[in-house]
Amino acid sequence: MARGGINKREMDRWARDFVKESNKSLERAQRRNPPRVSVQLDAASRAPSGGEGIESSGHLARLLLWLESRTGHGADIKQVQQEISDDAEILALQLEQRGLVKVLWAANGIYALHLSGAGLVETHRQKSLQKDRAARLRHTMDAFHRWLFDTAADRKPVAPELFLTTPAAYFAGSEITETELDAALAHLTQYELVEYLDTEPVTVAITSQGASCALTGGSVQDHINQPRPGTTYNNYMPNAKGVIIGEQQHFTQNNTDGVDPTLFVQLAGYIGQVSPILGLPESDRVELERVAQDLHDEATSGNPEPGRLRQFATQLKDKLLEGASTMAATQGIQMAEQALTALV
């Protein structure tokens, strides 16, 4: 007998049995959920942190804001599938990797998720982003441009309002409106990435320049901000009804008189593109297109006369102010003002 009445041999046997049972318990736990422990640890090292970027996702910001609106800030996975998306588990995992939700597991997978403290803070950032008009317009231009390229890269005509039924038509969890889509289309048309087609109803198609922009992988703003040549003015002129006659598609002019006709050529082409969707009476639309044609003719002449450029651009601006209230008209007014300012 050892001191104190404890048998050393009994103690050693007890220790061996304890270690053996502990190892068995650990092995059973690993067999029950082997991949989740290792994969999650590995994924966590690579996962994005915070909510940066989810405002442009079709579903992530929506899910986050939906959880925040619920009592207790949680939901089971079936509710998420019904309210947000069939890909509920993937969305939950993406938000969990960012630390924005806590996921609860059952033997057969995720059964519930709950907004974390970081997720609650992120919902306030998303709500602030919803009010950022510039960010919303940038997103709408990028999202529509990419959707159009994926949907009709062969330049087939597409009804633009179909975009509003897609998951991409959300920003920071809120729906993109028709007005915002009109504004995005106005910019995309101005920069010749998209063209309106004179169909009934009106459709749009991606241009060759728009396809090239999509293939670079950058944003629309990246494309717009590229430096442009300063001495030779190359303007893609789509065959818009009432504006471009014949088969001329490219206008090049070496100008030595100090008058840059670029903005006026763009204005004329833009008006011809959007005139069918401005909601003008037929007689007003015909007159608008006639003035746009006059402006185009003057701007593409060998020696554009500043007074005539000012006259036609001012007439277009006034007609848009009088008869149209869409975002496309607003964009045309802004283009006219920019062109007129260039003459000063």
pLDDT of residue 258: 58
Strands (E), the chain: 74-76, 101-106, 109-115, 170-171, 174-175, 194-197, 203-206, 232-236, 250-254
For residue 7, pLDDT beyond 50: yes
Share of the chain above pLDDT 90, in %: 40
Q: Counting beta carbons within 10 angstroms of the beta carbon of residue 306, is it exposed (0 to 12), middle (13 to 18) or buried (19 or more)?
A: middle
Read off the pLDDT band of 324 (50, 70, 90): low
Angle at which helix 306-323 crosses helix 327-343, to 10 degrees, equals: 160
| Mean pLDDT calculated for residue range 251-268 | 69
pLDDT tens sequence across 104-138: 999 999 999 999 999 999 999 999 999 999 999 99
Cα separations in angstroms, 150 against 94, 153, 216, 235? 24, 6, 14, 25
pLDDT tens sequence across 203-242: 999 998 999 899 888 899 988 887 654 434 444 444 344 4
- What pTM was computed for the model? 0.63
Provide CB contacts within 8 A for 303, sequence distance 6+. 257
Question: What SS3 class is residue 305?
Answer: coil
- Pick 101 or 24 by higher pLDDT: 101
Read off the tokens for 266: 């763009």
User: Can you say how many angstroms the Cα of residue 199 is from the centroid of all Cα atoms in its chain?
Assistant: 26
Highest-pLDDT range among 14-23, 42-51, 101-110, 264-273: 101-110
Cα separations in angstroms, 278 against 158, 175, 188, 271, 282? 18, 23, 16, 10, 11
Provide CB contacts within 8 A for 223, sequence distance 6+. 191, 193, 213, 216
Read off the tokens for 207: 């241009």
- Pick 277 or 100 by higher pLDDT: 100
- Pick 79 or 270 by higher pLDDT: 79
pLDDT of residue 299: 87
Tell me if 59 sits within 8 A of 167, measured CB to CB. yes
Provide CB contacts within 8 A for 139, sequence distance 6+. 55, 56, 171, 176
pLDDT of residue 103: 96
Rg of the chain on CA atoms, in Å: 31
**CA angle, 110 as apex, 106 and 116 as ends, to 5°?**
110
Q: Which helix (H) or strand (E) holds 273?
A: helix 262-274
**Which of 148-152, 236-240, 295-299 is predicted least confidently?**
236-240
